[in-house]
Amino acid sequence: MAEPVVPGREPAVPGRTAPVIELDRVVKVYRTGTFAVAALRGVSLSIGAGEYVAVMGPSGSGKSTLMHILGCLDVPTGGAYRLAGEDVGTMSEAALASVRNRRIGFVFQQFNLLPSLTACRNVELPLAYAGVGRAERRERALAALGRVGLADRVQHRPGELSGGQQQRVAIARALVTDPDLVLADEPTGNLDSASAGDVLDLMGELHRAGRTVVLITHDADVAATAGRTVRLRDGLVADGGLEAASEAVEGVGSR
């Protein structure tokens, strides 16, 4: 299937955008005490700039682990992850934090809003971390809340909002920094179908505005809203090469 060409970004090959995400046999092993769980066992995946990809798979298949790695919240145990051509494995913690803050917007199933802050303050937070001044922060947060249809709820705290409204605040927080990449982990998992529809509409809007969107879900109807679906099973891309995977797992170091 042809990948969408994003205006203003020059495709390396005509009709194909340069990959923004390149995973090469990525392995993630969690070690707790004497136990080791291989959550990802050699995932190779390439996602072009401006693509909208759904990652599907049953519970425990490694979806959230993959999102943590894509979002630079965690680093692979083996294999390589290049984000916009840069090897994440060689970046310092400060550089990773900067990438997370400036280039990536996150949306989580549990919303992850700070309960003591108003909607506006929650949306301002990533800008505060980025050192944006108070007046500009406020202005941009109000604009982002307007875009998700919450202009009349900016002074409400999360506990005073419905689940669907809280998730829209979280989406406003994800888009306020104008990130290139939006990662959403089961963003509709805790919502009724009407609110889920609103959230998916917003994801589609972010994609049409030229962003790369990766949406994690175990719901086929939700996945169908994306342009492409990648299936995970037992820490592997379901149609990926098994040989490459076993090689990668054997090569796991002690990182």
| By the rule CB under 6 A, 63 interacts with ligand ADP | yes
- Tokens encoding 205: 């809007």
Select from 30, 133, 238, 246 the one that contacts ligand ADP (CB under 6 A).
30
| By the rule CB under 6 A, 64 interacts with ligand ADP | yes
Select from 10, 16, 37, 246 the one that contacts ligand ADP (CB under 6 A).
37
**CA dihedral sign, ordered 26, 217, 118, 103:** positive
Enumerate residues 90-129 that contact ligand ADP by CB under 6 A: none
Interaction pattern, residues 56-75, with Mg ion; x per rule: CB under 5 A: -------xx-----------
Q: Is 53 exposed, middle or buried (0-12, 13-18, 19+ CB in 10 A)?
A: buried
Residue 30 binds: one of ligand ADP, Mg ion, none (C-beta under 5 to 8 A by kind): ligand ADP
Residue 177 binds: one of Mg ion, ligand ADP, none (C-beta under 5 to 8 A by kind): none
| By the rule CB under 6 A, 36 interacts with ligand ADP | no
Which residues are CB-contacts of 249 (< 8 A; sequence separation ≥ 6)? 27, 38, 41, 42, 78
Q: In whole angstroms, how close is the CB of 63 to Mg ion at the nearest point?
A: 5
Letter for the amino acid at 158?
Answer: P
- Contacts with Mg ion by CB under 5 A: the residue count is 2
Distance of CA 59 to the CA centre of its chain: 18
Select from 39, 174, 200, 245 the one that contacts ligand ADP (CB under 6 A).
39
| By the rule CB under 6 A, 61 interacts with ligand ADP | yes
- Which lies closer to ligand ADP via its Cβ, residue 196 or residue 232? 232
Within 10 angstroms of residue 232's Cβ, the number of other Cβ atoms is 24
Within 10 angstroms of residue 4's Cβ, the number of other Cβ atoms is 17
**CA dihedral sign, ordered 66, 46, 103, 26:** positive
Select from 62, 71, 179, 240 the one that contacts ligand ADP (CB under 6 A).
62
Q: In whole angstroms, how close is the CB of 73 to ligand ADP at the nearest point?
A: 11
From residue 95, give the alpha-carbon distance in Å to each of 84, 88, 125, 134, 183: 14, 9, 19, 24, 19
- Which lies closer to ligand ADP via its Cβ, residue 40 or residue 127? 40
Q: In whole angstroms, how close is the CB of 194 to Mg ion at the nearest point?
A: 23
- Contacts with ligand ADP by CB under 6 A: the residue count is 12
| By the rule CB under 6 A, 77 interacts with ligand ADP | no
Half-sphere exposure of 109 (CA within 13 A, CB side): 10
Q: Is 74:30 a contact under the CB 8 Å cutoff? A: no
Reference 45, options 245, 246, 250, 237; nearest CA is 237
Give the binding site for Mg ion (CB under 5 A).
63-64
Give the binding site for ligand ADP (CB under 6 A).
30, 32, 37, 39, 57, 59-65
